[in-house]
Amino acid sequence: MMRRPQAPDDPAARIRWLRPKPPLSGAAKIPDSKVGQLLTLLDRSGIPRELEELLKDRPGPKGVRPRVVLAGLLLSAYYTGRATVADAWRILHYSLEPRARAWLNIPDRPPAGPSARIASSKRLYRGLDTITTVLDPVRHDRRSRLPQRHADFHAAIWDSSEGRTAAARLQTLANRLVLATVRMAHQRGHLRGWNGDVGVDATSVPVVAHPDNRRRGTASVEITAGWHFKGGTGDKTFGYSATLAIAAHHRDHDDETPKAYPQLCLGFELDTPTVRTGPNAVTILTQIAELGLPAGILAADRAYTGCSPLSFQTPVRRLGYRLALDYKVKERGLQGSWRGAPLVDGSLMCPLTPAPLIHATTGADDDTVRLRSDELREKIEARASYHFKLKEGPDARGAIRMQCPASGPSPSVNCARRDRLRPRASTPTAMPARVIDLSNPLGRALPAAARPTVHIPETEHFAPPPTEAMPQVCCAGSITVPADAEAADWRLAKYRQDVPYLHTPWLNAYRPIRSHNEGANGRFKSGTLDIGNSKHRPAPGQVTQTLLLAVMLTVANLTVLEAWLTERAGPDHLTEADYDATGPLPPLTTQVIASPATANGRHPPPDAR
């Protein structure tokens, strides 16, 4: 049995035994252009300035500035794939050129001797600890397990109003760093080929800490973590859930080749698994909308279909997105009604739709839906003629106007009830010749003989009931379909989607967007930069994990952009001036790792903007 090595008794030997240790064979030098790029990105996110404002009234020495700590973590994640303070310390003191050292006010020479190395390393650790302290709604010791009752008390503070306010500030601050890469790509025109489609999904973010120990009555070091269950397999991981929004696209029937764009992570939210699933996605989409980016189709799995309409479906529609959702077995088929029109698999249909078409997917399991038989495929395609048609797009509250399939200039069915209740204008005997635009679907309406005919009850032919007894959708020219559950049935707000379920447009939207989601998750969790490896971000606590995950996703977006540009236009030809970290703003007087003046007597340059 091997024993853990013990620290020596000699003080000098103990210092040499402690970490951090310098690189064994010398560290590779990092070019100033890369340091300047990351610093400019960091400063334009506004995070360093906001942290400085939060820390300006703290008593005691200022220590290492947040800008230096975050810059070191960005460099560490970019060059090692790990967001650790130890790697950040090695890079800051052993890998930077003189110009980059001046930008960050790092001493010209590495620390001399083990005591100086340990002192400079501890200052960097304390710098990160200072950031997490000011952002944490309830600070406690995370170096050891707490009794379960104490941990429950701290976790309850996270769920209080004050805790949620602090958590929202943390998430907004961390997401600014990721959005800085998106803003840069948008300003440089790299997202011109993106049509606004977004895929939202929650992926597991495991942690180093172990779960609660019920036998001993102690809680996990990560008091707000939980079990993340992977849908379909039942596998579970202890840690957090990260909601990622990925830029995606649907397949257009007329154009099979979409325009090129980098598939970036548009934002993230780190939270306890299975908690606030819908609100976390809405928070990300709201921040995306503030950048002025387009809103297209949003595809999400069944975890988001099960959310309350007030927390997901309604706010997403009000942001301008069209929903493409999936359903569980018990949710397929007839789901409700609105103004007399049945809601079938998320689409409003004619009240006289044949029952075999309405119940074509009732009780169908996942295998039946994925491997559709010819009979099921025919029934699903036959539904298209009975779907209500969009008349007016969404207003400020997300409400839309829809009309009967037998109405409008291009009806898809023949209906005697509609002709009786709303007679069409008389048609002249001699129609003038006109040119038909084949690119306009309204001008390509099928002739009446080629359209399916709605079969009304026989009694209605001989004794038409009064208008009050008719469904409202049959009496009105069009109906308003609200987005919120307060003005409509909750089933309509929950299950309605803007792409007909299992039809070709839905398959061309849902499957590619979900595939892009899974592909991005796999890319971010593989290779050198692996957000799924808990050892790449070992610092405990939800606050620290959120900041470190933001750093890693920012670097992941940068690598996606660099690979995308290299594949299409060769290496990026940006000059070093494009990544210059100097700027016109006056420098802050906060003390950093070294003295205000460097060894050659020159003062460090101001922060970049």
Single out the residue of 304, 152, 179, 313 nearest to residue 243, CA to CA: 304
pLDDT band at residue 597, thresholds of 50, 70 and 90?
A: very low
Q: What is the pLDDT of residue 432?
A: 52
Whether residue 570 sits in one domain with residue 474: no
Whether 606 has a pLDDT exceeding 90, the answer reads no
pLDDT at 319 (0 to 100) = 93
111 and 27 housed in the same domain: yes
What was the pLDDT predicted at 269? Answer: 95
Tell me if residue 269 falls in helix, strand or coil.
strand
Q: What is the mean pLDDT of residues 49-59?
A: 89
pLDDT at residue 473 in the model: 87
User: Which pLDDT score is estimated for 397?
Assistant: 82
How far is the C-alpha of 288 from the C-alpha of 266, rounded, in Å? 7
> What pLDDT, on the 0 to 100 scale, is given for residue 30?
92
Note the pLDDT of residue 573: 45
Same domain, 481 and 564: no
For residue 601, is it within any domain? no
Domain that holds residue 366: 332-420+469-485
Identify whether residues 550 and 476 lie together within a single domain. no
Q: Is residue 76 part of a domain?
A: yes
Give the helix/strand (H/E) hosting 20: none
Average pLDDT over residues 443-460: 72
* pLDDT for res 5: 54
The vertex-69 CA angle with 64 and 72, nearest 5°, equals 130
Are 473 and 574 members of one domain? no
pLDDT tens for 535-544 read 999 999 999 9
Report which secondary-structure segment, H or E, holds 341: strand 341-344
Mean pLDDT of 286-314: 93
> Rounded distance, CA 569 to CA 56, Å?
45
203 belongs to a structural domain: no
Residues 481 and 572 in one domain: no
pLDDT at 369 over 50: yes
Does residue 344 have a pLDDT over 90?
A: yes
Q: Are residues 552 and 480 in the same domain?
A: no
> Per the domain annotation, does 177 fall within a domain?
no
Nearest partner of 349 among 366, 365, 333, judged by Cα: 333
Is residue 415 included in any domain, yes or no?
yes
**Is there a domain that residue 270 lies in?**
no
> Average of pLDDT values for 52-75?
89
For 489-515, the pLDDT digits (tens) are: 889 999 999 999 999 999 999 999 999
> If pLDDT is split at 50, 70 and 90, which confidence band does 80 have?
very high
| pLDDT exceeds 70 at position 6 | no
Q: Please indicate, yes or no, whether residues 25 and 98 belong to a single structural domain of this protein.
A: yes
Greater model confidence, 482 or 74: 74
If asked whether residues 340 and 481 sit together in one domain, one would say yes
Q: In the predicted model, what is the mean pLDDT of residues 333-339?
A: 91
Within a domain: residue 100?
yes
374 and 473 co-located in one domain: yes
The span from the CA of 558 to the CA of 185, in Å, is: 10
Domain count, the chain: 2
**Does the pLDDT value for residue 467 go beyond 50?**
yes
Structure token digits, residue 73: 């973590």
Q: 229 is written with which tokens?
A: 């269950």
Q: Are residues 44 and 131 in the same domain?
A: yes
Question: Does 286 map to a domain?
Answer: no
Least confident of 91-95, 298-302, 311-315, 585-589: 585-589
Can you tell me the mean pLDDT for 224-250?
Answer: 88
474 and 391, same structural domain?
yes
